[in-house]
Amino acid sequence: MTFIAPSILAADFANLQRDIEMINQSEADYIHVDIMDGVFVPNISFGIPVCQAAQRHAKKPLDVHLMIVEPDRYLEDFRKAGAEILTVHYEACPHLHRTIQRIKELGAKPGVAINPHTPVELLSEVLGDLSLVLIMSVNPGFGGQTFIENTYRKVARLSQMRADSMVDFQIEIDGGVQLHNASQLAKAGADVLVAGSFVFNSENPLKTIADLKRSTEI
Ligand code: DX5
Ligand code: ZN
């Protein structure tokens, strides 16, 4: 079964409670929370207070994706703000192993995200410590971008590495996910699909989440 993680980056921030309640009622599995600092990525989204506000209404785990430099400085704050999964970027962590251990100490599930140019092989030494690997299928920073086709190969390679090493973590895909690529991603080995604009720009987000889920049932 493939998990669906709607990203509240595409929600109506003036109606965040309403949009989170929609996700609560839907077939979604996680609520994806995109944190952008304007330094690691060329855009600023929102920070800790908005994550706290989401936590107050969320009935599904908060899957927090930190697109920020020096994430270690804020791990505890985001954990306190409700993050159950804390994902940092490989490209932002010179001491990635230490950062992962810190996330575990805080009682969250550690995830590592990789940009489109970063090979999955660079994670080989930490895979056993991870709950989730996030493969970016667009360059991080904005919703509504076009899916990068090379992602299928990366998913398949990571899925093979997982099988070979007998470790267990979820493979999450983030960026440009729509109905037309969801099933192929699931077949390649993806376990979690993030969808922002495709869900929130649709006429019936509840149905769109259900459709995404159905399309991945192989
Ligand atoms: C991009 C973010 C994504 C984004 C996905 O930097 O990490 O989570 O919200 O948005 P869509 O689904 O619109 O590509
Ligand atoms: Zn994201």
ipTM: 0.98
Tell me how far the alpha carbon of residue 63 lies from the centroid of ligand 2, in angstroms: 9
d(CA 8, CA 197): 9
Write down the pLDDT at residue 218.
Answer: 65
**Is 141 labeled as ligand-binding?**
yes
Q: Is the dihedral of CA 176, 69, 168, 54 positive or negative?
A: negative
CA 210 to mean position of chain CA atoms: 18
Which candidate in 19, 29, 37, 174 is catalytic? 174
Global pTM reads 0.98
Which range of residues forms the domain containing residue 140?
3-215
Examine the residue annotation and report whether 211 is marked as an active-site residue of this protein: no
Tell me how far the alpha carbon of residue 1 lies from the centroid of ligand 1, in angstroms: 22
Write down the pLDDT at residue 194.
Answer: 99
Q: Which two tokens stand for residue 151?
A: 């992602």
Integer CA distances (angstroms), 57 to 25, 39, 60, 76, 132, in order? 12, 29, 9, 20, 24
Check pocket membership of 51 for ligand 1, CB cut-off 6 A.
no
Write down the pLDDT at residue 180.
Answer: 96
Q: Which residues of the chain have pLDDT under 70?
A: 218
Q: Which two tokens stand for residue 129?
A: 């410590």
d(CA 36, CA 52): 16
Check pocket membership of 93 for ligand 1, CB cut-off 6 A.
no
Which candidate in 19, 34, 63, 191 is catalytic? 34
Q: Which ligand is nearest to the CA of 132?
A: 2
Examine the residue annotation and report whether 168 is marked as an active-site residue of this protein: no
Tell me how far the alpha carbon of residue 22 lies from the centroid of ligand 2, in angstroms: 19
Domain count, the chain: 1
Check pocket membership of 145 for ligand 1, CB cut-off 6 A.
yes
Check pocket membership of 42 for ligand 1, CB cut-off 6 A.
no
**Is 144 labeled as ligand-binding?**
yes
180: CATH: 3.20.20.70
**Is 197 labeled as ligand-binding?**
yes
The answer to whether the CB of 99 falls within 8 A of the CB of 72 is yes
